[in-house]
Amino acid sequence: MPDSLVNPAVEQRVNELIGRMTLEEKVGQTSQLMRLTEEDKEAVRSGKVGSSIFASTAWAGKDMPPSAQAEFSNEFQRVAVEESRLGIPLLLGRDVIHGHRTVFPIPLAQAAAWDPDLVEQAASIAAKEGTADGIKWFFTPMLDIARDPRWGRVAEGYGEDPFLGSANAAAAVRGYQGEDMAAVDKVAACAKHYAGYGLAEGGRDYDRVEISMRTMRDVYLPPFHAAVKAGVATIMSAFHDFNGVPVAANRQLLTDILKKEWGFQGFVVSDWNAVMELCEHGIAEDAAHAAALAMNAGVDMDMVSLAYVNNLVELVRSGKVPEAVLDEAVRRILRIKFLTGLFDNPYVDPDRAGKVMLLPEHRSTARKLAQESIVLLKNKNNLLPFGENIRKITVFGPLAYAQAELFGAWTLDGVGSDVTPIAEAIREGAPEGVEVFPLSTLSDQAIYHARYADVAVIVVGEHPARSGEASSISTLDLPAGQREMIAAAHANGLRIVLVVLAGRPLSICREVEMADAVLYAWHPGVEGGHAVADLLFGHASPSGKLPITFPRSVGQVPIYYGRKNTGRPLRPGVLFGTGYIDIPVTPLFPFGYGLSYTSFHYDNLQIATPRFGVDGKGEFSVEITNTGPRAGTEIVQLYVRDLVGSVTRPVKELKGFQRVTLQPGETRQVHFTLPAEDLAFAGLDDLPTIEPGKFHVWIGPNSDEGLQGEFELI
């Protein structure tokens, strides 16, 4: 059981307080409002409000809400603390998903950096800034494993792999919460959306999820378990119908696994209105029935539906909800309020905000994370970084001058004017003597003038409106008009560097063929323009690797590296194999893929432990040499395959990665230790098991390549 949330002194204060609370006051703590207005002060005064979302007019983060401010927090906190009977402070939450005023790359981009330490630093900066505006609870990290790029929320998570997702989950929780959530610059984090939301049928947001408990345990639960082990304060239950039992009423997920098996000691908040939506799902007759189902399943706080505050008193009095169940929910909520220091320091120093927002060191961390998250997908004839032969550069495309669009989804407190557009950043970053002429986004004018350039940088991709919640799309092509623009530039014989801004993988097969170089920049945040320019001119070298498979076509979805072999794997010459007759079954780019400005050679795979016990560890190493002209960072990846199991096992599973920076000609031995417990999976009984047997192991640059060996678990 994670002991980070259980503190004897706090438990004593919690129990003492609960002992003094009326039934109505207990129910009040389980209710969260969507915003706080003057009219709500009476409800706060009478103890009917436990929490509120801070200025939640941001419709799923798609518009700019009133900014969060310390004074706003203090105004309502004073009513709760000084004017209510028990003085229980409010817990104010907000969707600070990837940065507050300093907006970092979207989480999917952050995952492409394969740098959990930097993810932790970014989370820590976000907490430092958000707390200065009075926010003490972030509805982040989003930990939904996603393998369907049609789903708009793929942007908000860490990609397709549970191992990489788990590493980033723990890092984000550490960054947001630190060692002590009561610190003035730390917050309570919220791992969401528990669990399996990324599997929405058809990639349609909110649609049902139908998977085996085995797949749920092997793929979708691990990042949440990693967050719980890291001490995450809260968990948000997801909207969807999971195998016929919507998560908000799913006792197996919320209580049996999360609270009993994992020992989670924080509290569960429902997603927006999800308690009332049990009626839409057709498993609750009315609000009272929905409230009883959710509370008895393990949802401790009701986000904005008011089903709890309007029904729980009567439900407890009638015995439909045992008071002990309500007490446990209130205990968990109060535990987090004490641990975040709200009882001892409920107010925010309004002067802090002016001292912490968008500091130079925050910008430089954002720039570094953006540099590391951008993935070099193609670099024909080593066109990049631009050399002496590139004297005239033209920049155009629909996002060449974009500012706030670089933020991506869910950036409620970012300010567009903080961003240097890519076209401007290229002009700023160009060496002496290199002429950069940014052009308007009109393709014909741009292409006409571009003929006099040595290279055209074309900035394309998605507006954030196609990203995030309620933004699923049916095709993975570039938005309308962009393919034509690129084709026209190519037909004109231009040398093209394609910079793609997107919140998801796009099936840009033809565009990759037409371009000489491709930088996939995702939505790179407030320093994204500078980061792109840094890579173009070689002020930084790309090291990013894809955290999600890129399909050739939306028709291949779902497509991911950790697939099952099937009884008829597609092999050359095999007619009756698992695949398509119109396109290859392989992706456009595999998970873990990314180029650099140098080259790396892998040699001498050593398996120090050809056999080790189920309670032991495997030791592996390989020699990496930088065989190219420049220093570079390689993300060395370790994969395994369990050759025979009591259930079918993936053809590959990521079980380790390391960032290795090498100078030209430098060789280094890279070691991996693999605990046998990392080879556990859900067995025939759907419960975690470790089975002896033979494994293949690979160490390489991505999920497709690597030096292969074998070991045996005994």
Of 42 and 201, the one with the shorter C-beta distance to ligand GLC is: 201
Q: Which of 596, 572, 710 is nearest to 659 (CA)?
A: 596
Of 53 and 221, the one with the shorter C-beta distance to ligand GLC is: 53
Question: Minimum Å distance from CB 53 to ligand GLC?
Answer: 6
Residue 656: phi, psi to the nearest 5? 180, 150
Tokens of 93: 């939450």
Alpha helices in 451-589 (DSSP H): 482-491, 509-514, 528-536
Of 241 and 271, the one with the shorter C-beta distance to ligand GLC is: 271
Question: Minimum Å distance from CB 159 to ligand GLC?
Answer: 17
Residue 618: phi, psi to the nearest 5? -95, 145
Report the length, in residues, of the chain: 714
Query: Which amino acid, 262?
Result: W
Of 56 and 549, the one with the shorter C-beta distance to ligand GLC is: 56
Catalytic residues: 271
Any residues with CB less than 8 A from the CB of 585 and at least 6 apart, and which? Answer: 556, 570, 578, 579
Of 93 and 461, the one with the shorter C-beta distance to ligand GLC is: 93
Question: Minimum Å distance from CB 139 to ligand GLC?
Answer: 3
Decide: 523 and 99 in contact? Cβ < 8 Å.
no
Residue 433 Rama label (left phi>0; alpha psi -120 to 50; beta): left
Q: Tell me, what DSSP letter sits at residue 216?
A: I
Query: Which amino acid, 166?
Result: S
Of 101 and 193, the one with the shorter C-beta distance to ligand GLC is: 193
d(CA 215, CA 130): 36
> Which residues form the interface with ligand GLC (CB under 6 A)?
53, 56, 60, 95, 139, 192, 271-272, 469
Rg (CA), the chain: 26
Q: Which of 670, 657, 680, 710 is nearest to 159 (CA)?
A: 657
Question: Minimum Å distance from CB 235 to ligand GLC?
Answer: 12
Our separate counts of H helices and E strands in the chain read 21, 26
C-alpha atoms less than 13 angstroms from C-alpha of 467 in its C-beta half-sphere? 27
C-alpha atoms less than 13 angstroms from C-alpha of 446 in its C-beta half-sphere? 26
Of 89 and 157, the one with the shorter C-beta distance to ligand GLC is: 157
Secondary structure string (H, E, C) spanning 158-204: CCCCHHHHHHHHHHHHHHHHCCCCCCCCCCECEEEEECCHHHCHHHC
